[in-house]
Structures are given as structure tokens and as C-alpha cells.
Amino acid sequence: GEDVEQSLFLSVREGDSSVINCTYTDSSSTYLYWYKQEPGAGLQLLTYIFSNMDMKQDQRLTVLLNKKDKHLSLRIADTQTGDSAIYFCAESMKTSYDKVIFGPGTSLSVIP
């Protein structure tokens, strides 16, 4: 079946690194995404990775993809209070349309 799982909560201290994990079940995924949702706001696309990549780095963000284990992670270096938000992992599959499955979201709390 199609399912994306994430732990629901993560708490880190300001300045530390945060690692948000995600597992997915469909090996036919083409793209894997990380979205950020701040309180009262929409989903902001943070970064994405093609399924044929292992890693992608973008400033403070590092995405690691382990296709064998169907595991995706988002590392945020030097976490700031402004990083407090809900982070959604999502996978998309090319069928006859672009089908996107979202995880439940991980609520990241950054402690000053």
C-alpha cells in the first residue's frame, strides 16, 4: 500500500542540528519532498530530491535518501527558533497523473 510515516514531534535546542525522519512504502516514487508549515500559514516547499539521488544539500538543509530502506531524512543545521514549524514529508508517483502522498507531519519545537 501507499503510506508515508513520520514521527509526530521533535524538540531541539537552538543551535543544534535537527533531523526529521520519514519512511515511505512505494518504491515507484519519483520525487520526495519536504514541506514546511508555519502556524496559520500554507505549506511551503522547502526542498525535494529525485528518487535517483542519494543526497541533496541546500544551505542549512541536507536531504538524505536511502532507497533500499525507503527512508528519507531532513537535517537542519544550526536550528533557529524560526525553524519551529510542522514539516511534511511527501512522495509523488507517476501514474496516469501526479499522485502525491503526504505524511502526518513532524512538529519541530526549537528551544531557545
List contacts with other proteins (CB under 8 A): 30-31, 33, 35, 41-45, 48, 88, 90, 92, 94, 96-102, 104-105
Q: Cα Rg for the chain, rounded, in angstroms?
A: 14
Distance CA 21, CA 82 (A): 20
C-beta of 15: minimal distance to other proteins in Å? 30
Q: Which residues pair with 88 in a beta bridge?
A: 35
Nearer to other proteins, 24 or 88 (CB): 88
Q: In the bound complex, what is the minimum distance in angstroms from residue 14's beta carbon to other proteins?
A: 27
Which amino acid, one-letter code, is at 9?
Answer: F
Nearest CB to other proteins, comparing residues 31 and 60: 31
- Phi and psi at 103, nearest 5°, equal -80, 175
